[in-house]
Amino acid sequence: MINLIWLKTFCSLVDIGHFTQTAEKLFMTQSGVSQHIKKLEQQLDTLLLVREGKSFSLTDAGDKLYQQGQVLLKTSEEIESSIKHDDPLIGTVKITTPGSVGLKLYSQLLEVQQRHPTLVIDYMFAPNSSIEQDLTDRKVDIGLLTEQTKSATLLSTSIAVEPLVLVTSKEIEVINWPTLIALGFIDHPDAEHHAQQLLSENYGEFEHITQFERTGFSNQISLILEPVSRGLGFTVLPLHAVNAFHKQDDIAVHFLKHTVNETLYLCQNRLSFENSRTQYIKSLIIDLIS
C-alpha cells in the first residue's frame, strides 16, 4: 500500500520542481523530502526520478506515479472531507423516551423530518430503566428520563417539569381514598413510580401501589386511558400524556391538594461523540418541551 504522506511529498516536489522550495512549503527539511522520495522508491522497488544537479527529471515510473498519484490524493481528500462533514440536517438521530413525553415529542419531530428528509428520526418508547440501559450501552444518542439517573456514565440535564395528575372516568367527580380503593388501578410501565410520587404526598393511607386491585394494564401510552375512560379504574400520569388522549370528554383530570411535579431529564452517555445533528435535535427537544 502506497504511503500517502510520501506520495504527497513526491507530487508536491513534481509540482514545484525544487527540493528546497518543496521542503519550505511542506514545513520539512530538504533531507526530509529526499528521505520520503527514497522510501517511496524502496517501497515500489523502482526509480522515480533522476537528479540532474539541483534539478531532476522523472522516469517513466515516476511520471506514471505522478499522474495516478494526484488522483489518489484527491480521492483521499474527498473521503476525509466527507467523513468530517458534519451537517446537522443529514443522518440519523436515535432517541428514546417514556411514552408520556413521546406523545408530545414524536409527531413534532416527524414534522422536522418532513421539512428535512435527510434527517432521520429513530424514536423508541420505553420505561426509565430501559432508557438508562440503552444510554449506558450507547445504543441511542439521546434519552429522556423522568427520574434522576444514578449512573456515572451518563450526563443528565433538567429541562422541564410536568405535573402528575390522577385520572378517572368522567363519572367520578369527587376523589377520596375509599373511592380509589373501589375503583382499582390501571397499570402501565411507569405507574408505580408515578403513583408513589403523587399518592404518597396526598394520602396518609398510601403505602404501595399493591394496595389497589390491578384492574388493567397497557404498555401503549396512547391506550392507557382507554380503560380509565370506560370506568375500569384510575391511573396516574404526567399532564402532557393526559392532554394527548383523544377522548377528553370521557375522562376527568383530578389535581390533588399537594401538587407533585415530575422533572424531565435530558441524558447522554458522556463517552458518546456529539455530532451536529444530535446537538440540533437536543435544542429542538428543549424548545418543544419547555
47-90 pLDDT, tens per residue? 999 988 778 999 999 999 999 999 899 888 877 766 777 889 99
Do both 199 and 257 map to the same domain? yes
Return d(Cα 63, Cα 161) in angstroms, integer. Answer: 69
Whether 172 shows a pLDDT value over 80: the answer reads yes
- Could you give the 3-state DSSP secondary structure of residue 209? helix
CA distances from 154 to 108, 135, 271 (A): 26, 7, 8
pLDDT score for 195: 95
Q: Give the mean pLDDT of the chain.
A: 92
Domain holding 56: CATH number? Answer: 1.10.10.10
Do both 188 and 140 map to the same domain? yes
Last residue within a domain, chosen from 60, 84, 108: 84
Half-sphere exposure of residue 230: CA atoms within 13 angstroms, side-chain side: 8
191-242 pLDDT tens trace: 998 999 999 999 999 999 999 999 999 988 889 999 999 999 999 999 988 9
Last residue within a domain, chosen from 46, 69, 84: 84
pTM of the full predicted structure? Answer: 0.62
Do both 118 and 242 map to the same domain? yes
97-140 pLDDT tens trace: 988 788 888 989 999 999 999 999 999 998 888 999 999 988 99
Do both 80 and 104 map to the same domain? no
Measured in whole angstroms, how far is the alpha carbon of residue 242 from the centre of its chain? Answer: 26
pLDDT score for 99: 81
Last residue within a domain, chosen from 84, 100, 128: 84
Number of compact structural domains in the chain: 2
| Beta pairing class for 251-254 and 154-169 | antiparallel
Instruction: With CA atoms as reference, report the closest residue to 101 among 224, 244, 241.
Output: 241
Return d(Cα 238, Cα 99) in angstroms, integer. Answer: 10
The number of residues making up the chain comes to: 290
1-34 pLDDT tens trace: 889 999 999 999 999 999 999 999 999 999 999 9
Q: What is the residue range of 58's domain?
A: 4-84
pLDDT score for 147: 86
- Could you give the 3-state DSSP secondary structure of residue 69? helix
The answer to whether the beta carbons of residues 245 and 215 sit under 8 Å apart is no
Do both 10 and 142 map to the same domain? no
pLDDT score for 53: 78
Do both 75 and 170 map to the same domain? no
Q: Is the dihedral of CA 123, 244, 215, 195 positive or negative?
A: positive
Q: CA angle, 68 as apex, 67 and 70 as ends, to 5°?
A: 75
